[in-house]
Every structure is written in structure tokens, then in C-alpha cells.
Amino acid sequence: MSAIASRQSVDGGAAAFNTTHWSVVLAAQGESAIAREALEKLCRTYWWPLYGFVRRSGYRPEEAQDLTQGFFALFLEGRDLNAVRREKGRLRSYLLVSLKNFLAKAWRREMAVKRGEGRALVSLDELLERERADLEPADTLSADRIYERRWALTLLEQVLTRLEEDYRIAGHETLFAQLKELLADEPDRPSQAEIAKSLGMTENAVKQAFHRLRRRYRELLREEISHTVAVPGDVEDELRHFISVLQA
């Protein structure tokens, strides 16, 4: 996975900085359908990284689920979002600091939202399925490192999902499936010539198609990151951090 990001120049394919940075968080302060959708994205994006941090901090799966659920409940129901301002910086760091404060409080045991009470932000089945499939060397990673890695992998997953949707809408699912293999520096990945032969295209056409895919990938990555930082200048730093986490 790290090769997918490392192949992209952080200053290449420059998309204009999205002026709705932190829009997911800010929109979640309201009660509209758009705000609820933004809130859902926030929770699903950061649930797995934050849950990983809690698990590595020594809690059993059931406890970690309750605490993560409780953190989001307090964070949202307590209107902590109203305290979010542009000077807060990076959402990635802000949420982790907030979670650490939450875990350090004695009342965390009272605020944990028990399974079966209310609507879970992420289903237990989905959570445990991801944990069973997790190949991270958790015994060698700190809680902070697990959080950072899961944040980067979740972000990458979202970008690739959006990219795949672009190609699906255009009716080019097969092309995307083949070109995606070129993003990773795997020894057994197909060559552009092999892809061209399998798709009945010229090698030059495949080269151009891959160039467009990489450009769109960079645009989507910048857009996703721009939603999680406070000022335009932080996007490049966050992109570099994203790449360094995946390469580690």
C-alpha cells in the first residue's frame, strides 16, 4: 500500500485548495441531512484508527468498542464540535488528543455507550471482521503508531473507493481494475504491455490512461486531506506525513 502513495508527488496534480476544509466537522454541528451525512463520514473515517489506539492501550475488544462509542457520543452530544475552530490545526491530531483526554477522565466508564443502547456508529460485526483481517504487527507498534497507520490506510481506502466510482460511472471498471495494479510496486504486478494486450489496447493508450488515473488519484487525495486541516498551508505537510506513515 505504501507504494501507492509514494509514487505520487505531493506537489503534483495540484488541485485548488478546497475552501470547505474541515467542512465535515463544521457541517456536523447542524441538524440538517447534510450535517448528518457529514457526521457519518467523520465517525466512519476515524472510528477504526481511534478504536485501534484504545485497543493498543490495553483494553479488550468489548471495552474498546464501548469506549470508542462513548468518545464519539460525548464528542458529539456534548457539542464539543462547537469548540472546533480553524486554529485547531489538523483534525487527525485534534481527535487523538481529545481521545487521550477522554480516556484519562474517571467518568469514561460512565460515558461508554453500551452495545445495544442507541444506534452504533459502526457495527460490531464490521469492527471485529476488520480486526480479524488486520495484519498489522500490533506487538511492535505503539498505540499512537497504530492510530496513525490506520488513519492513513482509511484515507487511502476512501480515495481508491472514490476513484473506482469515477471509473464505474464511466463504464470503465475493467480498466480501473487493471490500472490499479500499477499503483503498487509489487514484483508480480503486470506490465503496461501485458495490460494493453489483455484489454485490446495499445501500450501508449494504457500509458495515457494510467497517467490520467494517477492525476485523478492525486486530486482526490488532496481533496480528502484538505477537509481535515485548518489552513491551506497544512495540506502539503499532511500529504508528506501521510506518505511517511505508509512507507514506515
pLDDT of the residue at 82: 55
78-102: per-residue pLDDT in tens?
Answer: 555 555 554 456 888 888 988 898 8
* Helix ranges (DSSP H) in the chain: 2-6, 23-27, 33-56, 61-77, 91-104, 108-111, 124-133, 143-169, 173-183, 192-199, 203-226, 234-247
Rounded-to-integer distance, Cα 66 and Cα 176, Å = 39
Band the pLDDT of 10: cuts 50, 70, 90.
very low
In eight-state DSSP terms, residue 7 is T
Half-sphere exposure of residue 173: CA atoms within 13 angstroms, side-chain side = 5
Q: Is residue 121 over pLDDT 90?
A: no
Total domain count for the chain?
1
pLDDT of the residue at 204: 96
57-83: per-residue pLDDT in tens?
Answer: 888 888 888 888 888 877 766 555 555
Residue among 242, 246, 247 nearest 10 (CA): 242
All 3 cell numbers of residue 89?
490545526
Mean pLDDT rounded to a whole number for the chain: 76
**Structural domain for 112, as ranges:** 2-247
pLDDT of the residue at 58: 87
Q: Is residue 237 over pLDDT 80?
A: yes
